[in-house]
Amino acid sequence: MPWRRTADPYQIWISEIMLQQTRVDTVIPYYKRFIEKFPTLDDLAQADEQILLKQWEGLGYYSRARNLQAGVKEVAQNYGGIVPDNRKEISSLKGVGPYTAGAVLSIAYGIPEHAVDGNVMRVLSRILLIEEDIAKPKTRKIFEEAVTEIISHEDPSSFNQGLMELGALICTPTSPKCLLCPVREHCAAFHEGKQNVLPIKTKTKKTKSLQYAMIAIRNEDKFLMEQRPASGLLANMWQFPMLETAVDILPVEIEEQLSESLKGIVDKAEKITSFKHVFSHLIWNVDGFIADSKNISAPNHMRWVTAEELDLLPIAGPVQKMKISLQQRGDV
């Protein structure tokens, strides 16, 4: 992993933010590009947010990027550009929670601090036969105390990483490879045959569905784009103008409602695509339209952009899908 070839606390910090809820193989190319673009803490502190979000495009959880930059700016201004080397101060930085604090402290500074993530809770729940629900926030404290007891003071970095890697490669969520496990003789769950029922983790509720019409509004060589609000889902990302429609609406009714709400703005809307996009906690069902407009005024939070400018705007999954279908038609 490229972030294990550096001792720079800033670069290790970057990697730990990217790795939140994200697989190693997904992060690697993003990390490499990011470090090339923002090699030092000051480079990121001074970066334009749109450029930053464009670098983050496709990684998801975009508030991570904005919180990361906020934290980096705090370090530049209040800590002389040196990432704090104690839990109290580093935890005060935006986007740095209990796990990331411990990860950076142990990996970058060699300090014996716990770094409890999902892997660690799964591994230790089995080894130590801990049957608390790991979906509950307060349960993490139990594992933090356990790690504090057993962490190596000679090499806390390797200890924390080793625990996580054991979880990623051997002590997996389903069908753990106990026969290959180097610590199976120390594992209480293995001895009791409970490795397949631990950890205890309650189910999350199922996702809701929303129906949208997404409209690529074109005037000659430009498209009307809209920036999303500064908070909430896909904050500050750009999109083709969207209309929320009734979930149980018929396709023909969507087109009727569309031409009704865009009366005077667009000439005729033609449906060009239809797709589903799954987020963590909700689903978007999107019907994509293309329409021409004679009116080139841009409402609030909207801009007319050329195809080249469109390529510079940070856009998320659903807009990416719309853009691709426009490209396939030759509209962009």
Enumerate the active-site residues: 16
In the complex with DNA, which residue's Cβ is closer, 120 or 269? Answer: 120
Contact segment (CB under 7 A) with DNA among 43-51, 131-139, 245-253, 258-266 equals 131-139
User: Given candidates 60, 76, 200, 285, which one binds DNA under the rule CB under 7 A?
Assistant: 60
Instruction: List the structure tokens of 22.
Output: 């994200």
For residue 192, give the 3-state DSSP assignment. Answer: helix
- State the nearest-atom distance from the C-beta of 136 to DNA, in Å: 5
Q: How many other CB atoms sit within 10 Å of the CB of residue 253?
A: 12
Q: How many angstroms separate the CA atoms of 12 and 85, rounded? A: 13
H-assigned helices in 113-235: 118-127, 139-150, 156-169, 188-192
By rule CB under 7 A, what count of residues binds DNA? 60
212 in contact with DNA (CB under 7 A): no
24 in contact with DNA (CB under 7 A): yes
Q: How many angstroms separate the CA atoms of 35 and 6, rounded? A: 11
- Report which of 220, 234, 214 is spatially closest to residue 286, judged by C-alpha positions: 214
232 in contact with DNA (CB under 7 A): yes
- State the nearest-atom distance from the C-beta of 177 to DNA, in Å: 12
Q: How many angstroms separate the CA atoms of 48 and 208, rounded? A: 34
138 in contact with DNA (CB under 7 A): yes
Site for DNA in 250-269 (CB under 7 A): none
In the complex with DNA, which residue's Cβ is closer, 9 or 95? Answer: 95
User: Given candidates 16, 113, 144, 226, which one binds DNA under the rule CB under 7 A?
Assistant: 16
Q: How many angstroms separate the CA atoms of 256 and 271, rounded? A: 12
Contact between 122 and 168 under an 8 Å Cβ cutoff? The reply is no
- State the nearest-atom distance from the C-beta of 56 to DNA, in Å: 9
In the complex with DNA, which residue's Cβ is closer, 84 or 291? Answer: 84
CA 23, chain centre distance (Å): 10
- Report which of 184, 258, 243, 161 is spatially closest to residue 210, judged by C-alpha positions: 243
Applying CB under 7 A, which residues contact DNA? 1, 15-16, 19-26, 58-63, 67, 94-101, 103, 117-119, 122, 136-138, 161, 164-165, 167-168, 172-174, 201, 203-206, 232-235, 277-281, 316-318, 320
